[in-house]
A and B are shown apart, each in its own frame.
Chain A
Amino acid sequence: MDILNAFVLLANFVIVPALAYGSQLALGALGVTLIYGILRFSNFAHGDTMAFGTMVTILVTWWFWSMGISAGPLPTALLALPFGIAATALLVLATDRAVYRFYRRVKAKPVIFVIASLGVMFILNGIVRFVIGPDDRNFADGERFLVTAREFRQMTGLREGLAIKTTQALTVVIAILVVIALFWFLNRTRTGKSMRAYSDNEDLALLSGIDPERVVVITWVIAAGLATIAGVLYGLDKSFKPFTYFQLLLPIFASAIVGGLGNPLGAIAGGYLVAFSEVAVTYAYKKFFAYLLPERLEPEGLMQLLSTDYKFAVSFAILILVLLFRPTGLFRGKAV
């Protein structure tokens, strides 16, 4: 019984939150890795693109609320999501036209693209704060829990409860659907194949008649969709604050690099790896050991490896280890 209790405790505080967080990171990292694979630069504006998409979704959600539209037990934000994706897609296409296309044409060095993305980051940051303000926003509605801790306890008779928030379940389900759709697109459709060809060998792809501008446009649209979905799911699960989204850049990049930049499968694996390490390292295991160990061996301290404020240190440490021992990432990304 105690072993079961210990396991449920761990599931409640580590496995379920990390699964949800990992899915959000994986979606974010997929966007970064796609941009890297096709456009060949690290997009520092990705966190703020996420914030922009989420902001539009929140605004549309408020509009739906004011009209009395809701999605029943599901968050209304899901209905607003397509609007957010559309607006973000338009935005990134506009920035591509206004900013990045010029540097593609003059074949600028990747680092110039990165600096340009810093400028875009500033602008998006300004727009988001200008429109919705720098404060925390909570926009989740509908049923809060799929399973509450009390229900779980009554169902199983265990002392520990397992609570699953609707948003957590939704995150995982949506992430799986999106990833399936993306891989189907990349592997089975003509356009997806041309994108991969372009990513693998630009010259060869151009020779075989692939239109580079079309590939770029599709990449931006997909990246905008991924960013918005990731941002909205993160915002539903936790809350929306522009600065937090900016800070997500670090774990997202860590995920993408750990998996191997430019490799979509690696981005997903990296997302979960970073999320599980972050949550597992900052969780206090005192109660967990109290269930498993005999009473006289019970630990005195919190049994917490690192305080939660150091979660960025975790993604950073993973990043450094990978850079030291396997610079192209776990799944052999590109080395440009």
Chain B
Amino acid sequence: MLEISGLTKRYATGDLALTDVSLTVPDGQVMALIGPSGAGKSTLIRCVNRLVEPTAGRVVLNGDDITALGPAALRRARRRMGMIFQEYALVERLSVMENVLSGRLGYVGFWTSWFRRFPQKDVTEAFRLLERVGLDHMVDKRADALSGGQRQRVGIVRALMQNPELLLVDEPTASLDPKTSRQIMRLIVELCAERGLAAIINIHDVALAQSFAQRIVGLQGGRIVYDGPADGLTPSVLTTIYGEEDWSKTIAAVEDDAETELAG
């Protein structure tokens, strides 16, 4: 369970990215974080694993206060939080296997990782997960030789290799075509269900968020303005989050998509 309380982030430039955000994500819940660009979505998930240092507030993961940890303890805590990125953020010049095994970096020593002598159980797990996402034939390919959808699947496997208790997912589909986006979202949701993982997914696409997440949190100007079930996103709620616009098409589109999903 992830508990965020009173989280505030003010950047050195003086911009207030988050104001007093409190949020609890129970185990196994997939939560979508929506909101306009600049609302603080990326900052929020980066404050959870402290890639961005929060200015105030607390982040507690399964009873451990992440915000209070020193450097070494923080590194150990980061192992418990898998992160998936918008532009995949694979190390482009390393192979698929190396990228996947980099998820174990927090568990092995420097020289073990430098000479790529990972424990056999890590390698076995890597093969198993690559097979699970259908990439077992790509093991020795360099990451920059893969398509967008394949890269994102490698990114997902890397995060899972950490054996995480929580997934932080930053715009996983922003660089993908609509079909691949749905496949990636479905994969993330399935994997979370298999492992009972909690996930926070930043996402721009309201329709995708509605069809894949159980709970939606709307962020506007660094504050939470909506927190509720996916079907509670009415036009008036969307107007609060994003501003005035004709939302009937967006919401209608979701229902259409849901039907085609079922038919397919």
Physical interaction between A and B: no
